[in-house]
Amino acid sequence: MTGQLWNELESAVSAGDSARVDRLCGLYEQQLRADYPGRFTVPAEFRHNAAATQRYVQASFAVAQRLGIAPPSSGVSEVLSRAIEECEALNQQGRYEQALAMLTDLLRSEEVLSRPPELGQAACYGRMGGLAHHLSRHQEAWRYTKTAQELCHQMHDTEGCLSYLDALYIIADETGAYPDALAVAGMATQHIQEHGPAKLLPRWLATYTEAMRRVDGPGQVGEFAKAAERYARELLGSDPAELSRTLNQLGTTLHKAGENAAARALLEEAVSLRRGGA
């Protein structure tokens, strides 16, 4: 199976786009069938990345289910793989309480979910955080997601760590917990500076600047916005779309801080970059 096809399937499953998954499975059924059962084994490069493993396993079982292919007991534990599959089905049906209860029971069991065990635990806690968020149980969502982020940090899983920090920021922002949002943005910025990827630094610096404005007022916004803008131009010069998004974010923050001239310049440039890339 080509990498592009698998990436499309992973994207469709993650987005909950069942129609797209069905269409791809129908168009490429023969190719997909030839690719199994190898797809049930998580590739070595994913095994220490909780977020990537979760996406991979979720997509593997979703496709297999549509093709009527029975999974073997290999890769991550069969218990965890089956739980992720069942959880996804419940999630698609809006049965968040049942999915959350199932994962809670799984974590309480003595089953070995993965090796290392933190891999499976992070996958469970991260999904539990998303389910609690759907249920508007924000304290639970925060606790579960923070646990998943800490487990990823222990495993040196940068992608998973940043993914869960992003989720934590959304929870804090939605609930008006702006000091928590500022702390999360600071953690993400520090993590990227130490571990990469550098391309994500401008967006998180812009996010930190907005969070700081909400907590401390407009005092230092201009200074931090200039630093974020400098990094954006250095690191995103070859990506006009991402540069445009970052400049727009900074311009919006500067406008809210009363820095209207600087805000206008950035917002106009962001629009120009978008038009140039259209």
Per-residue model confidence (pLDDT) at position 113:
65
**Listed residues 90, 120, 135: the one ending a domain:** 135
Asked if the model's pLDDT at residue 36 lies above 80, the reply is no
1 and 104 together in one domain: yes
219 in a domain, yes or no? yes
Most confident of 56-60, 93-97, 121-125, 141-145: 141-145
6 and 119 together in one domain: yes
What single-letter amino acid sits at 36? Y
Total domain count, the chain: 2
The answer to whether residues 142 and 168 touch, using CB atoms and an 8 Å cutoff, is yes
92 and 16 together in one domain: yes
79-104: average pLDDT: 86
Instruction: Tell me the pLDDT tens digit for each residue of 137-154.
Output: 999 999 999 999 999 888
The answer to whether residues 184 and 215 touch, using CB atoms and an 8 Å cutoff, is no
Residue 100 belongs to domain spanning: 1-135
Mean of per-residue pLDDT scores for the chain: 85
**Listed residues 92, 115, 135: the one ending a domain:** 135
117 and 221 together in one domain: no
The answer to whether residues 47 and 80 touch, using CB atoms and an 8 Å cutoff, is no
Within 10 angstroms of residue 269's Cβ, the number of other Cβ atoms is 16
157 in a domain, yes or no? no
Instruction: Tell me the pLDDT tens digit for each residue of 236-271.
Output: 989 999 999 999 999 999 999 999 999 999 999 999
In whole angstroms, what is the distance from residue 205 CA to residue 155 CA? 25
245 and 121 together in one domain: no
**Listed residues 91, 113, 135: the one ending a domain:** 135
110 in a domain, yes or no? yes
110 and 24 together in one domain: yes
Per-residue model confidence (pLDDT) at position 107:
85
- pTM exceeds 0.85 for this model: no
